[in-house]
Amino acid sequence: QEYSELLRGLDDATLDRLVDAAGADADIPLTVVQIRHLGGALARASIDDGPNGAIDEEYSVFCLGVPVAPGLPEAIESAFGEVRTALAEQRSGRTLFNFLGATSDLGSTFSEAAHGRLRQVKAATDPAGVFRSNRPV
């Protein structure tokens, strides 16, 4: 199970809440809790560089839990909730495409206009639906 989202920024108070929720002393069933700094080419991109265009958010959070025992899926989801709450003030509601979870909505990645463009390209280049994806547009 995984959770990922883009963050507008990070301040000391948000980091303190995250450490309280998912730091070394937190009793949570997450294997990975990562904050990745973005910017650079991602922030300079344009719509010509792909359906996302520029990524204005400064950070990405990624969390992973491995549900290897009964009860763990629910505990992992609860831990994701704690992380979301800790990061609430900085969450943008968007996710990078390559970090979508199995049940994630493409709406959290692409704008409606970009999603529409992707559907048009798919229909024009693969009208028979031969090519499949884990994230169909």
Can you point out the beta strands (E) in 71-117? none
Residue 75: per-residue pLDDT? 97
**Do 118 and 131 touch, CB atoms closer than 8 A?**
no
Could you read off the pLDDT of 28-83 as tens digits, one per residue? 999 999 999 999 988 888 777 778 778 889 999 999 999 999 999 999 999 999 99
For every residue of 41-72, DSSP letters joined together read HHHH--GGG-TT-----SEEEEEE----STTH
**Do 58 and 30 touch, CB atoms closer than 8 A?**
no
Q: Tell me the helices (H) and strands (E) count for the chain, helix number first.
A: 4, 3
Q: Return d(Cα 7, Cα 57) in angstroms, integer.
A: 6
Amino acid at position 121, single letter: V
Could you read off the pLDDT of 118-137 as tens digits, one per residue? 889 999 999 998 988 777 77
User: How confident is residue 15, by pLDDT bands cut at 50, 70 and 90?
Assistant: very high
User: How confident is residue 98, by pLDDT bands cut at 50, 70 and 90?
Assistant: confident
Token pair for residue 77?
Answer: 């989801």
**Do 53 and 47 touch, CB atoms closer than 8 A?**
yes
